[in-house]
């Protein structure tokens, strides 16, 4: 079984930005290098150390926990100093005049190591890499986007569409997550066992976000919509975007099945199911895909009747049994599905690879990959494309 992310340096990603800091501006600009942290957790640690309000920090993208990553952030009136903290290194680079965001990311540069490969694996991967170099890969949202979707629980945002606020809140507070630490597991177990006994939970839960929501229910029994509205903004965004991403992936799946013959496709397994990826494309197919941008489902998007994408858009809604009007989330003023479009296709730049003996496992091979991707595209999709069902991540 091919292994990726066996060691932190096996998965390296560096944000490439066109921002050039100077001496002027009210936003401090920082380089964040981390290992073993998600971006939100690393930022939370920085906020604690520097006693910062959440609203003062801005960043461009989420970077993987199981990786060595470099990215950038800005802090409104941030300290002009550096910070080191348990696998986190923050370096002040200067000042900028606007908050840093995803629009400032030019690309992401990846260096990956795949281990425990056989000679047959290397030969198959080499063929697949040549195919990827020629025609690229679908720009699906990969599994990282669906970390908030616990196995068998469905999408929290879908509960909101139907006004099932208690179910939505229960999922947020009690659903198991594969990277939960012991304290989170204990807290979720307590919530599952005593759900509905808000006064008792208020007394027994440790201080934190979950306890603050339970305290609200203890004072306002039955107002689950009010409790949902008090979720932290970053959590609300994760749950809503996960459902949008799921719907978006399905639109692209339908497009590929309708426009690319089955003999040109290979099926690749993602967390939310199998998706097609082309092995080859005609010049006309590649041109159509590189020009295709699919919209996210949102009540703020209105496609014209003659827009060729509308059929895909409406087809996915029908399959889900929902209407676009339900995306308005009535009564949740600060919760909304973002408006936007996403390119359907991803063409890796500077794609290079090199194979050799795997020093961690005698008799096996390793494959080193290097490539640049546009912001928002997933390197793990490329790996899954070239490795198929042999892909694994411990």
Which domain CATH number covers 89? 3.30.70.3160
Distance CA 183, CA 107 (A): 37
Residue 5 is predicted with a pLDDT of 61
**Ramachandran angles phi, psi of 392, nearest 5°:** -150, 150
The mean pLDDT of 316-339, rounded to a whole number, is 93
Enumerate the H helices of the chain as residue ranges: 39-50, 119-135, 156-161, 165-174, 182-193, 198-204, 209-219, 224-229, 233-259, 283-291, 310-320, 379-387
**Which of the pair, 393 or 244, is modelled with greater confidence?**
244
Specify if 217 maps to a domain.
yes
The domain boundary residue, chosen from 216, 233, 250: 233
The domain boundary residue, chosen from 200, 217, 233: 233
- Structural domain boundaries, residue 40: 20-99
Q: How far is CA 157 from CA 32, 224, 246, 250, 322, in A?
A: 31, 14, 11, 16, 12
Specify if 344 maps to a domain.
no
The mean pLDDT of 320-332, rounded to a whole number, is 93
Cα-Cα-Cα-Cα dihedral sign, residues 75, 76, 81, 83: negative
pLDDT tens digit sequence for 86-120: 999 999 999 999 999 999 999 999 999 999 999 99
Closest CA to 128 of 389, 358, 363, 376: 389
Specify if 187 maps to a domain.
yes
Q: For residue 364, what is the enclosing H or E element?
A: none
Predicted confidence (pLDDT) at residue 390 exceeds the cutoff of 70: no
Residue 152 is predicted with a pLDDT of 62
When pLDDT is cut at 50, 70 and 90, the band that residue 3 belongs to is low
Distance CA 95, CA 197 (A): 50
The mean pLDDT of 196-204, rounded to a whole number, is 96
Specify if 43 maps to a domain.
yes
Residue 233 is predicted with a pLDDT of 85
Q: What is the DSSP letter of 181?
A: -
Report percent pLDDT > 70 for the chain.
95
When pLDDT is cut at 50, 70 and 90, the band that residue 266 belongs to is very high
Angle 5-7-11 from CA coordinates, rounded to 5°: 50
pLDDT tens digit sequence for 26-42: 999 999 999 989 898 99
The mean pLDDT of 257-279, rounded to a whole number, is 93
User: How many domains does the chain contain in total?
Assistant: 2
Specify if 67 maps to a domain.
yes
Residue 141 is predicted with a pLDDT of 95
Predicted confidence (pLDDT) at residue 394 exceeds the cutoff of 60: no
What CATH code is carried by the domain that includes residue 211? 1.10.1510
Specify if 110 maps to a domain.
no
Specify if 64 maps to a domain.
yes
When pLDDT is cut at 50, 70 and 90, the band that residue 234 belongs to is confident
| CA of residue 238 relative to chain centroid, distance | 8
When pLDDT is cut at 50, 70 and 90, the band that residue 389 belongs to is very low
- pLDDT, the chain, mean: 92
Predicted confidence (pLDDT) at residue 365 exceeds the cutoff of 80: yes
pLDDT tens digit sequence for 36-88: 898 989 999 999 999 999 899 999 988 888 889 999 999 999 999 999 999 99
Closest CA to 87 of 111, 65, 108: 65
Contact 138, 252 (CB under 8 A): yes
The domain boundary residue, chosen from 178, 209, 233: 233
The mean pLDDT of 185-198, rounded to a whole number, is 95
In a shared domain, residues 94 and 26: yes
Q: Is the pTM of this model over 0.85?
A: yes
Residue 356 is predicted with a pLDDT of 94
Distance CA 134, CA 174 (A): 45
Specify if 254 maps to a domain.
no
Predicted confidence (pLDDT) at residue 204 exceeds the cutoff of 50: yes
């Amino acid at each position: 079984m091919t292994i990726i992310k066996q060691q932190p340096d096996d998965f390296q990603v560096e944000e490439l930005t066109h921002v050039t800091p100077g001496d002027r501006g009210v936003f401090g600009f920082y380089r964040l290098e981390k290992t073993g942290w998600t971006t939100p957790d690393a930022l939370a640690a920085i906020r604690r150390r520097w006693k910062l309000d959440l609203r003062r920090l801005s960043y461009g993208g989420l970077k993987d926990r199981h990786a060595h990553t470099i990215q950038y952030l800005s802090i409104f009136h941030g300290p002009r100093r550096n910070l080191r903290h348990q696998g986190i290194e923050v370096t002040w680079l200067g000042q900028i005049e606007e908050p840093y965001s995803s629009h400032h990311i030019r690309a992401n540069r990846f260096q990956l190591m795949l281990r425990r490969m056989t000679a047959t694996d290397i030969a198959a991967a080499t063929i697949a890499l040549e195919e990827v170099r020629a025609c690229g890969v679908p720009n699906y949202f990969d599994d990282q986007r669906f970390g908030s979707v616990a196995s068998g629980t469905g999408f929290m945002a879908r509960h909101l569409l139907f006004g099932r606020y208690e179910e939505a809140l229960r999922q947020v507070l009690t659903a198991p997550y594969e990277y939960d630490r012991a304290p989170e597991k204990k807290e979720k177990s307590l919530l599952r066992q005593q759900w509905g006994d808000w006064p008792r939970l208020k007394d027994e839960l440790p201080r934190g976000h979950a306890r603050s929501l339970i305290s609200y229910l203890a004072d306002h029994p039955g107002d689950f919509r009010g409790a949902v509205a008090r979720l932290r903004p970053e959590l609300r965004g994760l749950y809503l975007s996960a459902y949008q991403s799921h719907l978006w992936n399905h639109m692209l799946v339908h497009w590929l099945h309708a426009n690319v013959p089955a003999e040109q496709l290979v099926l690749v397994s993602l967390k939310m199911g199998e998706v097609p990826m082309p092995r080859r494309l005609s010049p006309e197919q590649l041109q159509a895909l590189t020009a295709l941008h699919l919209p996210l489902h949102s009540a703020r998007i209105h496609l014209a009747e003659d827009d060729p994408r509308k059929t895909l858009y409406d087809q996915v809604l029908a399959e889900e049994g929902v209407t676009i009007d339900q995306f308005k989330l009535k009564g949740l003023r600060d919760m909304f599905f973002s408006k936007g479009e996403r390119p359907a296709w991803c063409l890796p730049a500077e794609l290079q690879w090199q194979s050799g003996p795997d020093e961690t496992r005698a008799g096996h091979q390793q494959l080193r990959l290097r490539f640049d991707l546009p912001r928002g595209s997933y390197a793990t999709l490329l790996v899954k494309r070239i490795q198929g069902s042999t892909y694994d991540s411990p």
